[in-house]
């Protein structure tokens, strides 16, 4: 008997005003013409609620690009689901924030890429840093708690103190410091973004100091940089264990970046029910539990702790989603990680940034 899923990540669009170097969305994005329409999304949300989902995270791309977001939030809230908006803040106006809150939005998470217009432009290929404080104010004025997120890497780790100051000044109650995971587009920029050991240690010390200092008003969370760990993360709490993603075109995946695993045939809400997908679709069964595991995971004491790591990372680095995550020190492919880490700690020149849609840096 399969446990019911807890969360739905509704990627309502891949359209986005930012072009972040670390973007974990697939290299090939879904076009606007391929997106599910409002009625399709309403059906998806209803089926998700019937299946046992209790949280819906509206994401993308930038979900505010969709003019029907308020309608989708209202549908989810009407079914008593917890609703969260994951946004760059670009496109957020007072009118839209009021509309979303009236529709029942429970929380919003605002991303920030750097602490200055220049660093934001370099990381996200965007000249609209000024919209970030505005979005933060609008979220707070709408009565929502301000949750923020920053993806950390070689280009901004040294600015962690300043980034935390900024989020504090904007009134953040929670700040997620997410060390980059190298998937999708972001894997192309890995050698540019992977920090050195020393840089990472400095930033972690900043995190620990500021976490204590700010404890009374802001919660700081540190998401581990897995390339520097000995064991992999228990990605998604295990394959198809507690959440799933519906992509803009209706394809359904056990996690947000599984679309790149071309050895699996993923189902679509256009042709199958969510109940069948969750309980029976072969792609969802493929890595559930521990029966699929190869050696060394099969006989390892940690197999119920990390589930062999991340299937997407195994596929991205080895071409085989059924291999042990190369992050693991026991993995026969661990050299793939060791080589990248050695390069990040050497004098090798930084490669040029690769932005979606073009190959050169701004300016």
Annotated binding residues for [4Fe-4S] cluster, as ranges? 16, 20, 23
Q: Which does 310 bind (CB under 5 to 8 A by kind): ligand FES, ligand SF4, none?
A: ligand FES
Q: Which does 235 bind (CB under 5 to 8 A by kind): ligand SF4, ligand FES, none?
A: ligand FES
Of 144, 211, 152, whose CA–CA distance to 171 is shortest?
Answer: 144
Total of residues contacting ligand FES (CB under 6 A)? 8
Question: Backbone dihedral region of 182: left (phi > 0), alpha (psi from -120 to 50 degrees) or beta?
Answer: beta
- Of residues 6 and 231, the one with the C-beta less far from ligand SF4: 231
Structure tokens, 17: 């005003």
Residue pair 341/182 in contact by the 8 Å Cβ criterion: no
DSSP letters along 322-335, please?
TSPPTTSTT-TTTH
Check residue 310 for interaction with ligand FES (CB under 6 A): yes
Check residue 167 for interaction with ligand FES (CB under 6 A): no
Scanning 88-96, 129-137, 309-317, 351-359 for contacts with ligand FES by CB under 6 A, the matching segment is 309-317
Residue from 312, 316, 317, 328 touching ligand FES (CB under 6 A): that is 312
Binding residues: 16, 20, 23
Q: Which does 63 bind (CB under 5 to 8 A by kind): ligand FES, ligand SF4, none?
A: none
Distance spanning both ends of the chain, measured CA to CA? 56
Residue pair 207/222 in contact by the 8 Å Cβ criterion: yes
- For residue 237, the tally of other CB atoms under 10 A from its CB is 12
Q: Can you give the binding site for ligand SF4, defined by CB under 6 A? A: 231-232, 296-297, 300, 302-303, 306, 308-309, 324-325, 328, 330
Cis peptide before 238 (omega within 30 of 0): no
Least distance from ligand FES to the Cβ atom of residue 236, Å: 5
Residue from 81, 110, 138, 258 touching ligand FES (CB under 6 A): that is 258
Task: Using only the alpha carbons of the chain, give its radius of gyration.
Answer: 20
Scanning 45-53, 90-98, 111-119, 306-314 for contacts with ligand FES by CB under 6 A, the matching segment is 306-314
Least distance from ligand FES to the Cβ atom of residue 211, Å: 26
- Of residues 66 and 311, the one with the C-beta less far from ligand FES: 311
Q: Which does 325 bind (CB under 5 to 8 A by kind): ligand FES, ligand SF4, none?
A: ligand SF4
Check residue 124 for interaction with ligand FES (CB under 6 A): no
DSSP alpha helix (H) spans, 215-300: 274-280, 282-285
Structure tokens, 233: 């993360």
Least distance from ligand SF4 to the Cβ atom of residue 297, Å: 3
Least distance from ligand FES to the Cβ atom of residue 185, Å: 14
Scanning 9-17, 49-57, 255-263, 346-354 for contacts with ligand FES by CB under 6 A, the matching segment is 255-263
- For residue 295, the tally of other CB atoms under 10 A from its CB is 10
Cα(203)–Cα(198) distance, integer angstroms: 9
- The residues, any chain, with a CB within 8 Å of residue 253's CB and separated by 6 or more, are 244, 245, 247, 259, 266, 283
DSSP 268: B
Of 178, 109, 95, whose CA–CA distance to 146 is shortest?
Answer: 109
Least distance from ligand FES to the Cβ atom of residue 257, Å: 5
Residue from 235, 252, 293, 344 touching ligand FES (CB under 6 A): that is 235
Q: Which does 241 bind (CB under 5 to 8 A by kind): ligand FES, ligand SF4, none?
A: none
- The residues, any chain, with a CB within 8 Å of residue 317's CB and separated by 6 or more, are 326, 333, 336, 337
Residue pair 24/86 in contact by the 8 Å Cβ criterion: no
- Of residues 258 and 281, the one with the C-beta less far from ligand FES: 258
Element (H, E) at 244: strand 243-246
| Binding-site ranges for ligand FES (CB under 6 A) | 235-236, 255, 257-258, 310-312
């Amino acid at each position: 008997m399969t446990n019911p899923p807890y969360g739905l990540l509704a990627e309502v669009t891949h359209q986005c005003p930012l072009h972040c170097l670390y973007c974990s969305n697939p290299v090939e994005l879904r076009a606007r013409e391929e997106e599910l329409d409002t009625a399709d999304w309403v059906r998806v949300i209803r089926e998700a609620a019937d299946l046992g989902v209790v949280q819906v995270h509206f994401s993308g791309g930038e979900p505010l690009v969709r003019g029907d977001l308020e309608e989708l939030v209202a549908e989810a809230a009407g079914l008593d689901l917890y609703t969260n908006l994951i946004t760059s803040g670009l496109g957020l106006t007072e009118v839209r924030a009021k509309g979303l809150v009236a529709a029942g939005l429970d929380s919003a998470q605002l991303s920030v890429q750097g602490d200055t217009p220049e660093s934001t432009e370099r990381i996200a290929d965007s000249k609209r840093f000024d919209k970030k404080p505005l979005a933060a104010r609008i979220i707070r004025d709408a009565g929502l708690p301000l949750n923020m997120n920053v993806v950390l890497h070689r280009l901004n780790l040294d600015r962690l103190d300043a980034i935390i100051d900024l989020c504090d000044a904007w009134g953040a109650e929670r700040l997620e410091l997410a060390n980059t995971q190298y998937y999708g587009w972001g894997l192309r920029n890995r050698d540019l973004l992977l920090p050195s050991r020393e840089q990472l240690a400095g930033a972690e010390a900043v995190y620990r100091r500021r976490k204590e200092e700010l404890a009374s008003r802001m919660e700081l969370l540190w998401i581990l940089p897995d390339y520097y760990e000995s064991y992999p993360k228990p990605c998604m709490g295990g394959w198809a264990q507690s959440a799933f993603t519906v992509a803009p075109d209706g394809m359904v995946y056990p996690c947000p970046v599984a679309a790149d695993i071309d050895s699996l045939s993923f189902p679509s809400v256009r042709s199958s029910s969510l109940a069948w997908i969750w309980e029976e679709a072969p792609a969802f069964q493929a890595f559930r539990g521990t029966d699929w595991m190869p050696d060394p995971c099969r006989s390892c004491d940690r197999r119920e702790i990390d589930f062999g790591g991340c299937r997407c990372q195994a596929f991205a680095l080895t071409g085989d989603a059924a291999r042990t995550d190369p992050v693991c020190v026991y993995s026969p492919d661990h050299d793939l990680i060791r080589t990248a880490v050695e390069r990040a700690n050497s004098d090798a020149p930084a490669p040029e940034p690769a932005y979606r849609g073009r190959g050169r840096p701004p300016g």
